[in-house]
Amino acid sequence: MAAMWTAGTVEQLRTERSAMKGSVAFVPTMGALHRGHLALVHAARQAADHIIVSIFVNPAQFAPDEDYESYPRQIEADLAACREAAVDGVFCPPVEQMYPPNIPECTINVPSMAHVLEGEIRPTHFAGVCRVVAKLLNMVRPDVAVFGQKDYQQLKIIEAMVADLAMPVRIVGMPTCREEDGLAMSSRNAYLDTPQRQHARGLYKALLEAKRLVEEDGETDPEAVETAMEQVMMAHHVEPQYAVIRHPHTLAELDCIEPALTGGVVALIAGHLGETRLIDNMLLAEAG
């Protein structure tokens, strides 16, 4: 098998991409790769002949007071993990390659979904995500792009962007990979100290409580489930930022939980452990 290539410029990427025969699956990441990312790579392998991974900590999706500077960066270990996973090539551009200073900026907005939940707390976040994902898709020209349900709202927004702008790519969403105690894998888990790491399991426990209430007790009142999730988070010293039940496709609020009508519901939560902010979600009462 050919050695894995790395490309640091758009030009190098385009040259490598043009030489690839067969279908290509793309996995965009911000690096600090963990088992969750590698599960996306595995799905990519099932979906196409070749795999391209990008590693780019995207400044456009961080607000000035967020963790752009301190976000974990470990490019050599990430490249080794990609090589090990038989990735064909890695695109790891510097910021000036993605955002050349002389090009006027474009904005992509998905107004129905980008300003609630994460978008309410991080008002510029999804514009930054859509901009970088659209650019990466145009640069890589994949047949398939793989994203994690871990970032559920992001996945729904990207699906909407690709559908409405008729982008020629198939989006695949993969289930969340978890640690043994249920904590969703995240590059940001590295920020947690030992007691916080213990407490962080409260996020998953809150989602399991929502699942129990909806699927076993048949609870139909979203507020009752939301309150229960907050209580579980607080009992584990996780300070809730939101804990909500929403429509699984539109993220709209629901008056009543009626899984048969909506094809299930999604529970979405965000909370703080000290300075560290974690998010998680779970699909409940899915059909089928």
What is the contact surface with ligand AMP in residues (CB under 6 A)?
29-30, 36-37, 39-40, 147-148, 150-151, 174, 176-177, 184-187
Q: Closest approach of Cβ 40 to ligand AMP, in Å? A: 5
Of 137 and 225, the one with the shorter C-beta distance to ligand AMP is 137
Question: Active-site residue among 34, 37, 42, 249?
Answer: 37
Instruction: Write a three-state SS string for 40-99.
Output: HHHHHHHHCCEEEEEECCCHHHCCCCCCCCCCCCCHHHHHHHHHHCCCCEEECCCHHHHC
Catalytic status, residue 37: yes
In contact, 254 and 180? CB cutoff 8 Å: no
As a whole number of angstroms, the distance between CA 168 and CA 170 comes to 7
Residues 6+ apart with CB under 8 A from 65: none
Of 62 and 225, the one with the shorter C-beta distance to ligand AMP is 62
| 176-28-106-248 Cα dihedral, nearest 10 degrees | -20
In contact, 135 and 18? CB cutoff 8 Å: no
Q: Closest approach of Cβ 282 to ligand AMP, in Å? A: 12
Residue 106 φ/ψ, nearest 5 degrees:
-110, 155
Residue 76 φ/ψ, nearest 5 degrees:
-65, -45
Burial 96-111 (b: 16+ CB within 10 A, else e): ebbbeeeeeeeebebe
Q: Closest approach of Cβ 41 to ligand AMP, in Å? A: 10
Q: Closest approach of Cβ 37 to ligand AMP, in Å? A: 5
Q: Closest approach of Cβ 244 to ligand AMP, in Å? A: 19
- Greatest C-alpha distance within the chain: 58
Of 86 and 190, the one with the shorter C-beta distance to ligand AMP is 190
Of 4 and 157, the one with the shorter C-beta distance to ligand AMP is 157
Of 40 and 44, the one with the shorter C-beta distance to ligand AMP is 40
Task: Report the catalytic residues.
Answer: 37
